[in-house]
C-alpha cells in the first residue's frame, strides 16, 4: 500500500513539475488553438464553436487579442461578429455586428486569450494549495503504512 501511494505521489509530483516547466508552451498552444477555433467558427455549432461562445459569454470577451480578430474570419464576412460577444443580447442587431465601428460599441472589446490566462494564473495558488494538502495526506499515509508494516513484521503472531 505504501508503494502504491508513493507511486501516485511521484506521478502527481512529475505532472506538477512538467506543468510548471512547460507553462509557456501551454499558453502558446492555447493561443494557436483559439485562433484556429475562430478561423473555423461556424453556425452549425460544433464543439469548438460552442467552446468559443462559452468562453466569450462567461468571461465577457471577444476574439483572441480583441474583437477585431473576427474581421479576419470567414464567419465575419457572412454574419459579422458572433452574438456571444454582445454586451446585451437585446441590443445586438446583425447589421451592427457586420460593421466594426458600430460593433465596437455593442460587443466586448477585450480579447479572450489574456482573460483566460490571467484567470488560470490567478487560480493557480488555490490549485497549488489543494495539491499540497493532498500530497501531505499521501505522505502521512505512506508513513503510517510503513509503520504498520514494520509493526506487523516485528510482532509475528503464532498461527493457531
Q: Is-contact 103 97, C-beta < 8 A?
A: yes
Give the pLDDT mean for 70-98. 87
Q: When comparing pLDDT for 147 and 128, which is higher?
A: 147
Sorting pLDDT into bands at 50, 70 and 90, what band is 158?
low
Q: How confident is the model at residue 61 (pLDDT cuts 50, 70, 90)?
A: very high
The β-bridge partners of 86 are 107
pLDDT cut 70: percent of the chain above it:
95
Handedness of CA 119, 125, 130, 135 (dihedral sign): positive
Q: Per-residue pLDDT tens for 94-120?
A: 888 888 888 888 899 899 999 888 888
Lowest-confidence region among 53-62, 69-78, 90-99:
90-99
With a cut of 60, say whether residue 21 has pLDDT above it. Answer: yes
Query: C-alpha angle with apex 34: 49 to 67, nearest 5 degrees?
Result: 85
As a whole number, mean pLDDT of residues 9-30 equals 84
The tens digit of pLDDT for each residue in 145-154 reads: 999 888 887 7
How confident is the prediction for the chain on average, in pLDDT? 85
- Region for 15 from its dihedrals, namely left if φ exceeds 0, alpha if ψ lies in -120 to 50, beta otherwise: alpha
Q: What is the C-alpha to C-alpha distance for residues 9 and 30, in angstroms, rounded to an integer?
A: 28
Q: How far from chain centre, in Å, is Cα 117?
A: 8
Q: Residue 136's pLDDT is what?
A: 87
pTM of the model: 0.68
Q: Pick the more confident residue, 159 or 148.
A: 148
Q: How many percent of the chain have pLDDT more than 90?
A: 16
Q: Specify the 3-state DSSP secondary structure of 111.
A: coil
What's the CATH architecture for 1-158? Orthogonal Bundle (1.10)
Which run of H or E residues covers position 16? helix 2-21
- CA distance linking residue 48 with residue 39, whole number of Å: 11
pLDDT at 13: 84
Whether the predicted pLDDT of 90 surpasses 60? yes
Domain locations in the chain as residue ranges: 1-158
Amino acid at each position: 500500500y505504501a508503494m502504491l501511494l508513493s507511486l501516485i505521489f511521484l506521478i502527481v509530483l512529475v505532472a506538477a513539475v512538467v506543468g510548471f516547466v512547460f507553462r509557456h508552451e501551454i499558453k502558446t498552444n492555447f493561443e494557436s488553438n483559439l485562433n484556429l477555433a475562430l478561423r473555423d467558427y461556424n453556425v452549425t455549432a460544433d464543439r469548438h464553436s460552442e467552446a468559443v461562445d462559452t468562453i466569450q459569454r462567461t468571461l465577457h470577451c471577444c476574439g483572441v487579442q480583441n474583437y477585431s480578430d473576427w474581421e479576419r474570419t470567414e464567419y465575419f464576412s457572412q454574419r459579422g461578429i458572433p452574438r456571444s460577444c454582445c454586451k446585451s443580447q437585446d441590443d445586438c442587431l446583425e447589421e451592427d455586428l457586420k460593421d466594426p465601428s458600430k460593433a465596437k460599441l455593442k460587443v466586448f472589446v477585450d480579447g479572450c486569450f489574456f482573460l483566460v490566462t490571467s484567470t488560470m494564473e490567478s487560480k493557480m495558488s488555490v490549485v497549488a494549495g489543494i495539491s499540497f494538502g493532498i500530497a501531505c495526506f499521501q505522505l502521512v499515509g505512506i508513513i503510517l503504512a510503513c509503520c504498520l508494516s514494520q509493526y506487523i513484521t516485528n510482532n509475528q503472531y503464532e498461527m493457531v
